[in-house]
A and B are shown apart, each in its own frame.
Chain A
Amino acid sequence: MASQTLSRRHFYLSPAVLAWIGLIGILILIGLISAVLVFWNGLYITRMSDPVPWGLWITIDLSAIALGAGAFTLSAVVYLFRLKRFQPLVRLAVFIGFIGYTTALLTLIMDIGRPDRFWHPWVYWNIHSVLWEITWCITIYLAIMLVEFAPVIAESRFFRNYAWAAKVAKFLHHLAPLLALLGLGISLLHQSSLGATYGIVKSRPFWFKPSMPIMFILSAVAVGPSLTMAITYIIEWVTGKKSVPNDILRAIARFSGFALLIYGYIRFWDLAAVTYYGRTPSVSEAFSLLNQQTPYNFSFWIFEILLGVVLPAILFLTPRFNRNPGYLVIGAIFAVIGVVINRWNVTVGGLFVPISYSPGVLYELEPTKYFPGLPEWGVAIGVIGYGLALLTLGARYLPLFSNGEHS
């Protein structure tokens, strides 16, 4: 107990920690200023427009939810497939998932035109809408993660003196397999529905294909756990405490590596089918427009495939690299960048192809233009600050790596 108090004092006095807190504070401040500006002036001050109504913020929503996929994957691995050796990672995974989903909700509140009506999908149902289903799934899943995570909060030192907190924690811990099952079902639904959001839009040839939901869920399952692995290593380096055995983290990396290879393989055949074997005039037109007049082609092959799939797969799978935690963290960072760039390419790529409905100008339109403006970047920086702040607080005050089985 005494040593803990000592270490806490040490934690606060270090200049590096002060600089870190200062950095997070600045990020959040930038975000708050941007948010106030957007709420005050309306979405007019962003660079979004009628031809490109979705942009950077939707990319953040999709990426944050994809990166939170480690939560349901690891919960299912431990509580449904009974691979107990991964248990030390579940709490952190759920915590990262919670951060990811709340980040997405914060950004979404910024993005919708009427934030005061955020509750409408819960009251006015349109069961035909993918977006309605996603709203419900995300709400329910956030609740599931809160219940899954409640024991961690109950075990933290703030509740150490309350006996009822321990009882609640123990009870909730027994619910873990049920919550994991619910979380798995709900996550499989909405992670793929996010792809369906684009896949069902028949007016846009770049998006309209049945593989969209599969691409989204595969990439999320591949990258989510590797982010949990990387953050575990980083927390271990910063705190200097070894919490999770290396071979478990390496196993996660290998899982992510194989999942990335499967994703890359299916992505390849998807691309071949859409652009080569089964191409339609409108799809060919969309791709040639994107390839000739936008950096889409470069961004796709270099960032999405080479740096986002091939490089992490090599780092995660070859024995030469995956014995070194440094390479694993670098691999995870590239995989995360890859998935973010993928969501950006899907969203903006689809919108850059102008809607061609008029017979007299068929396939003759210019691509639309969009690059995020300052308020959009500001909000993006702010939510990153929010995520880092929560992660720092969690790593400092919550028993993220204990397995909850000590009682």
Chain B
Amino acid sequence: MARTPSSRRRRPVKLYAGLGIVGFFALIALVGPVLVSGAGRISADSMARPSGSHLLGTTDIGQDTFKELIVGTRAELEICLTAGLLAMSLALLIGVTGGYLGGKADQVLTAVANVFLVLPTLPLIFLVADLVHPKNPFVIALIIGTTSWAASARVLRGQTLSLTRREYIDAARVGGESHRRILVCEIMPNLLPVIAAQLVFAFIGALLTHAGVAYLGLDNSSNVNWGTMLYFANNALALQRGAWWWFVPPGLCIALVGAGLSLINLGIDELVNPRLRVPRARAVRRRMESVATAAEVDEKVTA
């Protein structure tokens, strides 16, 4: 694309801000549990206000809220990562295969994805989580991951379909390249921005879903993470008893990580789709080249 003065490369502020926030929490998840000792230790100091000895106060049984929060960060992000990656792998497998193969295989895979798309996942997760009663935190991640891949699969399918129809793929095929090589070397690189955006969506979805599931008490109560913290805080009527330091921080952390991930997504969107950027001079609006953007092509294919 010819570079007009207005689309001169600008620093992707949103992307950096988002990466900063998520990176900060990732760092805590990595080193936090090593630095903090004695999380979960019960003491007589019940429902204490934040102070020097307890940075974020204590719970009803005298556990240090700040330490719980730090230790919970790793557990929460692990669940988020596992569920997100699993959902993404399933979406890639089903979406890209369908879009690339086309025909009957595509129809079957699309139908499966559509069914999963319209089924309300949260009640389904409740049902499964309650039946399984997972002790291992990864079981929850597994359940979330296997029920939340369908929307991404649909987007990836549309994108793959439009890429598969382009001439350079025909050229590769005529040149005798194998299916695997075409998929990995020709299609995948062009899918990367979409995959990145969908992966971030999957992380946000997993984070919020797990928070909800754990809040209702469906995560095993011996696991310490932000979701179970909210569950215990709510069960102990923390807010009603004025113990905001117990209830607010875990939710705020979830919201911050979620916001950081959304910022990353907005940033990716603007990098990939220059039209969404705010042009310097508004007069440029109509004169921008009509590059067939990913969104449009996707629309035309699925329409």
A, B in one complex:
no
